[in-house]
Chain A
Amino acid sequence: MMKSYLFTLYLKTKLDLKSAEILITYYLVPLGFFFVMGAVFTSIMPEVESTLIASMAIFAVTMGALIGTPSGILEYIGVDIRKTFQSVGIPLHTVISTTVISGLLNLIVMSLIIYLFAPIAFGALRPERLGLFIAGLLALILTTLLLGILIGLYGKTTSMVTMLSQVVFLPSMMLSGIMFPADMLPRPLQYLGMVLPATHGMEILSGDSLELWSFLILAGISVIATILIVYKLQRLKSYS
């Protein structure tokens, strides 16, 4: 069974790399944003050098996980493919877990590109505590991927999925502090931003100290998302 799982994971990663949607949302748009916004930010706000890697990585993760992942889930969990997979005994959780692992790998690669090129292209400063940065990045990727999967599972149509993705993605861009400091926002919007993984990702990745509270909130969002994913999978598995 492990061999079957590993082959499915290999195949999912391969298919993701061949997917135009994944290529665009995981790589091309974040790279474009990175080069354009990197140039703009560093020229109008030179002090962003210390947070540029964090904000660009968070943009890439949020974009890939919230815009790219749900449509893939919608395709695989769509009734025809789901039943075809079930007919050969491929468990639904395999589809979810391989999506998470494949997404994790792609988003790590994209974050690595930003981490390596931001100092060269824009003179960005690398984080002082690399271990904390990596832990925070992994926590953010995992949490955001789980949210992306949740959107793919609960949004029944492409248009619904697009809408739900935007409902989380746009506030993540505006309220998390990756475009401008979150403390410049009105208080209610700051509170609203506290429920978004990107806000806590920014807290962890741009800081030099352990933001335990942010880690806990990311863990809490992940747990809630996982419970809702498992609930939905159970319902799909025993469908009517």
Chain B
Amino acid sequence: MITVKNLIKSYGKETVLKGIDFTVSEGEIFALLGPNGAGKTTTLECMEGLRRFEEGKIEIFGETPKKAMEQGIIGIQLQSSSLPANITVTDAMKLFCSWNQINNRGDLLERLGVKDLGGKAYKTLSTGQKRKLHLALALTHEPKVLFLDEPTAGLDVEARAHLHQEIKTLKEQGTTIILASHDMAEVESLCDRVGMIVEGKMRSIGSPREIVAEVEKEQWIEVQWQGELPELDFKYMTDHQMIRGVHRFKTEQRLAGLREILDFTEDSGLDLLDIRLEKPSLEERFIEISQGGKLS
């Protein structure tokens, strides 16, 4: 279990984390979402033992972040990981294994598809190859907890899919994964739970489905009719749009709104081709929260 309690962190006079609280269960994939500058990376770096914080408590399987790092409980892939320009892939692996006091893990290079690059200098690797290498390096000591900061930023579709598969495999093996990402699709498909940080505060936390379900009352109903449309006059609709022959109605009362549309269709003798309740995406929810949606 990982616990973050009332985490407060300042840079000079500016307080960037204003009391962050959350827990992550063993074996879970937990994502930190938030706009740029929200405090995701700072939160991760405090948890990784790479940054000091003024107040609060972080426990990683009962240990402080520093001890968790020293004991090899955690593995870290930083947002901007880097290595000396001339170091080869093989030497980088040997260096990390040496400091983790384990035998060389050439198998990880093979598993992540960078073994053929063994003799190549770090500076000659592509962004995707570097990301894979850093993930391999973070996994050398088989950590119980893996921190990934923007793991797929700058990757092409194929590399991204490969990395997603690797993250799923790690979860199956029982690794607890905490990641920061901007990629909503990635978060929705990979993560068990999500925490949304905005302006240094945890604004919302839960599974992607729960967060979407928290959405404000207003929802859109999409309808497509065939036939001559009489004048539209709805009691429960607050907005109306027409996009490529599809009517979109905004309502605060989903059921009453649906009923009203069905009654209207029947009364007007229209042929109902399609009706659907537009499900908000995590991305829309994210935008709503980051623009000042309600606090959970």
Residues on A lying within 8 angstroms of B by beta carbon are 1, 3-4, 7-8, 11, 14-15, 18-19, 75-76, 78-81, 83-84, 86-90, 238-240
Contacts and interface: CB of A to CB of B under 8 A. Distances in A.
B289 to A, nearest CB: 28
A87 B98 contact: no
B229 interface: no
Interface stretch (B47-55, B185-193, B274-282): B47-55
Contacts of A19: 86
B70 A89 contact: yes
B94 interface: yes
A11 B95 CA distance: 8
Contacts of B91: 11, 14
A238 B46 CA distance: 12
Contact of B99 (A75, A81, A89): A89
A88 B94 CA distance: 12
A88 B99 contact: yes
Nearest to B77: A87
Nearest to A20: B86
Given A3-B98, A89-B99, 20 more contacts: A4-B98, A4-B101, A7-B94, A7-B98, A8-B95, A8-B99, A11-B95, A19-B86, A75-B84, A78-B82, A81-B82, A83-B80, A87-B48, A87-B69, A87-B78, A87-B81, A88-B76, A88-B96, A239-B51, A240-B11
Interface residues of B, number: 29
B100 A18 contact: no
A81 B83 contact: yes
Given A86-B50, A88-B100, A11 B87 contact: yes
A8 B137 CA distance: 16
Contacts of A81: 82-84
Contacts of B85: 75
B155 to A, nearest CB: 18
Given A84-B78, A238-B52, A240-B51, A8 B98 contact: yes
Contacts of A8: 95, 98-99
A83 to B, nearest CB: 6
Given A80-B80, A80-B81, A87-B76, A4 B99 contact: yes
The interface centre, meaning the residue of B76, B82, B85 with most chain A CB atoms within 10 A of its CB, is: B82
A6 B208 CA distance: 48
Nearest to A240: B11
A101 to B, nearest CB: 16
Contacts, number: 68
B148 to A, nearest CB: 12
Among A3, A15, A238, chain B packs the most CB atoms within 10 A around the CB of: A15
A144 to B, nearest CB: 23
Interface of B: 11, 45, 48, 50-52, 69-70, 76, 78, 80-87, 91, 94-96, 98-101, 134, 137-138
A137 B125 CA distance: 40
A90 B87 CA distance: 15
A60 to B, nearest CB: 23
Contact of A7 (B69, B78, B80, B95): B95
Of B50, B76, B95, which is in contact with the most chain A CB atoms at under 10 Å from its CB?
B95
5 contacts: A4-B99, A15-B84, A78-B82, A80-B80, A84-B78
A3 B97 CA distance: 11
Given A238-B52, A239-B51, A18 B86 contact: yes
A11 to B, nearest CB: 6
Nearest to A94: B99
A84 B82 CA distance: 6
Contacts of B101: 1, 4
A89 B49 CA distance: 11
A89 B50 CA distance: 10
Contacts of A86: 50
B118 to A, nearest CB: 15
Given A4-B99, A4-B101, A88 B52 contact: no
A152 to B, nearest CB: 14
Contact of A15 (B45, B52, B87): B87
A76 B87 CA distance: 12
Nearest to A76: B84
A84 B70 contact: no
Contacts of B87: 11, 15
Contact of B78 (A78, A83, A238): A83
Nearest to B82: A80
Contacts of B51: 239-240
A-B pairs, 6 with minimum CB distance: A80-B82, A87-B76, A7-B98, A4-B98, A80-B80, A84-B81
Contacts of A239: 51
A15 B100 CA distance: 21
A25 to B, nearest CB: 15
A231 B285 CA distance: 47
A21 B95 CA distance: 23
